[in-house]
Amino acid sequence: MDFATAPSEGTLAEILEKPKLKENMKLINRILLIVFIIFSCNVSFSQTKKKKYKNEIEKLNCAKNSNIRLEKRLANFPYNLTSQIKIVSYKNKEEGIVGEDLQKYLNLLVAKKDSIIENKFDEIKVLNFEQINKLTDIIYNYGYESESNIRSITGCYMPRNAVLFYNSENKIIGFIEICFECSGYRTNDNKINLGEECTQKYDLLKEFFKNCGIKYGTN
């Protein structure tokens, strides 16, 4: 066939006027409209989901949401059996994972299998009454800004610091071992805890340790 002399099917306008092409164009327009609606819905849903997640994260922020008096705080274990509270820092004395030595040593002390040798600790501070008030205020009176459906988790644990509770016989009856770097802690008794672990709780405690003169593990 000679393309130069091929019969014309009409002008573009005339071609578009043909019923079949008009139906196809309508179908294409409908498909494009459906795709646009689906895309718009997905974008809107994604933005709503992100906003909701952000709101849930913000609920984890710390707020002073209680005003428990000191007398009531100290009525709880281990404070009710405690004569002295000390905060410490501890560097590994042997090669290995940071914090392993501290965990083993505290376990021995609480199990009464080792006597307290305080020079094993790199730094140790005895808390006065005002400092005990501040420490327990952070633990008991600071919590989540509001109830959230999510919780933060951490994948590491390398403790360098601890809070030690001594009885009247100078024996350790409990401890709160803390890893400020990883925002985690461990205790020897499930009755001992740091209260609600709101986002800034470890920052508040770290600042408290710093103000008391503990440098290692808080920088």
- In degrees and rounded to multiples of 5, residue 162 shows phi and psi of -160, 155
CB 99 within 8 A of CB 158: yes
What is the residue-level pLDDT of the chain in tens, covering all 219 positions?
454 455 555 565 555 555 665 677 777 777 877 877 777 666 655 566 555 555 677 777 999 999 999 999 999 999 999 999 999 999 988 788 899 999 999 998 888 756 677 888 999 999 999 999 999 999 999 999 866 555 556 679 999 999 999 999 988 999 999 999 999 999 999 999 999 999 999 999 999 999 999 999 998
Confidence (pLDDT) at 1:
46
In a domain, 1, yes or no: no
Whether residues 145 and 80 fall in one domain: yes
Residues 164 and 77 in one domain: yes
Same domain, 98 and 35: no
Whether 77 and 167 map to the same domain: the answer is yes
Decide: helix, strand or coil at residue 16: helix
* Position 167 in a domain: yes
184 token code pair: 């985690």
What is the rounded CA–CA span in Å between residue 56 and residue 87? 33
Domain that holds residue 55: 12-59
Same domain, residue pair 67 and 43: no
The string of DSSP codes covering 54-109 is HHHHHHTSEEE-----HHHHTTSTTGGG-SEEEEEE---SSSSSTTHHHHHHHHHH
Q: Answer yes or no: do 110 and 157 share one domain.
A: yes
Asked whether residue 4 is assigned to any structural domain, the reply reads no
**Residue 2 included in any domain:** no
pLDDT at 27: 75
Domain count, the chain: 2
Q: 46 and 73 in one domain?
A: no
Clarify whether residues 96 and 193 are in a common domain: yes
Helices (H), the chain: 12-16, 19-59, 70-73, 100-110, 129-141, 201-211
Asked whether residue 45 falls in the same domain as residue 82, the answer is no
Q: Residues 26, 86: one domain? A: no
Q: Are residues 102 and 175 in the same domain?
A: yes
